[in-house]
């Protein structure tokens, strides 16, 4: 099959990307691993023995990094729509996090343990229509925030990928209602021209309640 010009340009950029090369050299499954490594360098979110939930985990860079950090006493529970090759110390569920069944299976895997960190690098398949893609992305981010609010332990943290633009301010406000501190991190491994940013929320507010947010 012939590649489109934009497909060829993406592939050229991908193979010459320093983080792609580094991931190959250091044995990480994705360049995304370096985004989490930088976030964890700035914010100490995982300790030995931590329980971590990885939403949108495939191909597994973030799960790899988390598995190494939590050590044998910790747990990483990961979910993705796509299959993911097994990783030591990581329990993986192939399911749709946005479905009731997927959520119930994920909760069953957690066995009532309250995570120290919930992180979401989830991204929907892009349609190319910016407004629709942005709305679908924020729907996933809202579901991840609801999950974090309901399951995290009080001192726990939440990391979520979002994009500047429509929906950003409302989502950040919902984060501020849920967590005592919020910060935004644009890791070096995040491509410069992307509007992507990672929001980190720490320590649940007691008043964050149990009702679902409605950002519409
Ligand atoms: C950017 S990738 C994650 C990369 C990963 N953090 C890593 O380090 O390898 C985004 C992932 O979100 C997943 N995803 C999107 N929607 C999802 C959903 N509803 N449920 C579960 N996973 C989903 C996609 O299948 C995709 O694998």
How far apart are alpha carbons 175 and 168 in whole angstroms? Answer: 11
Measured from the Cα of 59, ligand 1's closest atom is 9
Please give the biggest Cα pair distance in the chain: 56
Query: What is the per-residue pLDDT for 206?
Result: 86
Query: What is the per-residue pLDDT for 177?
Result: 97
- pLDDT classification of 214: cutoffs 50, 70, 90: very low
Contact 53, 118 (CB under 8 A): yes
How far apart are alpha carbons 150 and 62 in whole angstroms? Answer: 22
- The verdict on the CB of residue 122 being under 6 Å from ligand 1 is yes
CATH of 33-207, one of 3.30.1490.190, 3.30.750.24, 3.40.50.150, 3.90.740.10: 3.40.50.150
State what percent of residues in the chain have pLDDT above 90: 82
- Residue 35 is among the residues annotated as catalytic for this protein: no
Residue-wise pLDDT tens digits, 91-108:
999 999 999 999 999 999
- The verdict on the CB of residue 29 being under 6 Å from ligand 1 is yes
First to last CA, the chain: 42
Cite the beta strand spans of 95-152 per DSSP E.
117-120
Cα of 207 to ligand 1 centre, how many Å? 30
β-pair type (196-204, 179-185):
antiparallel
CB atoms within 10 A of CB 57: 30
Q: What are the residue boundaries of the structural domains of the chain, listed by start?
A: 33-207
CB atoms within 10 A of CB 98: 16
Bridge-partner residues for 79, per DSSP? 55, 93
CA dihedral 120, 187, 124, 91 (to 10 degrees): -40
Out of 25, 35, 112, 161, which one is annotated catalytic?
A: 161
Cα of 80 to ligand 1 centre, how many Å? 6
Cα of 100 to ligand 1 centre, how many Å? 17
Q: Assess whether pLDDT exceeds 70 at residue 157.
A: yes
Mean pLDDT over the full length of the chain: 92
């Amino acid at each position: 099959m012939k590649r489109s010009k934009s497909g060829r340009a993406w592939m050229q950029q991908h193979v010459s990307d320093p983080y792609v090369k580094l991931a190959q050299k250091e044995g990480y499954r994705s360049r995304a691993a370096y985004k989490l490594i930088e976030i964890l360098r700035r914010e100490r979110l995982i300790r030995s023995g931590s329980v971590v939930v990885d939403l949108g985990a495939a191909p597994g860079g973030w799960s790899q990094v988390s598995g190494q950090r939590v050590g044998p006493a910790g747990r990483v529970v990961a979910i993705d729509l796509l299959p993911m090759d097994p990783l030591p110390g990581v329990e993986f569920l192939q399911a749709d996090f946005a479905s009731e069944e997927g959520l119930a299976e994920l909760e069953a895997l957690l066995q009532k343990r309250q995570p120290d960190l919930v992180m979401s690098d989830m991204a929907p398949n892009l349609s190319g229509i910016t407004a629709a893609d942005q709305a679908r992305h924020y729907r996933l981010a809202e579901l991840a925030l609801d999950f974090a609010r309901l399951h995290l332990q009080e001192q726990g943290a939440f990391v979520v990928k979002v994009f500047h633009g429509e929906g950003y301010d409302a989502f950040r406000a919902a984060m501020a209602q849920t967590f005592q501190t919020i910060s935004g991190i644009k890791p070096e491994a995040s491509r410069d021209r992307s509007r992507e940013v990672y929001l980190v929320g720490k320590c649940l507010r007691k008043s964050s309640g149990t009702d679902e947010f409605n950002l519409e």
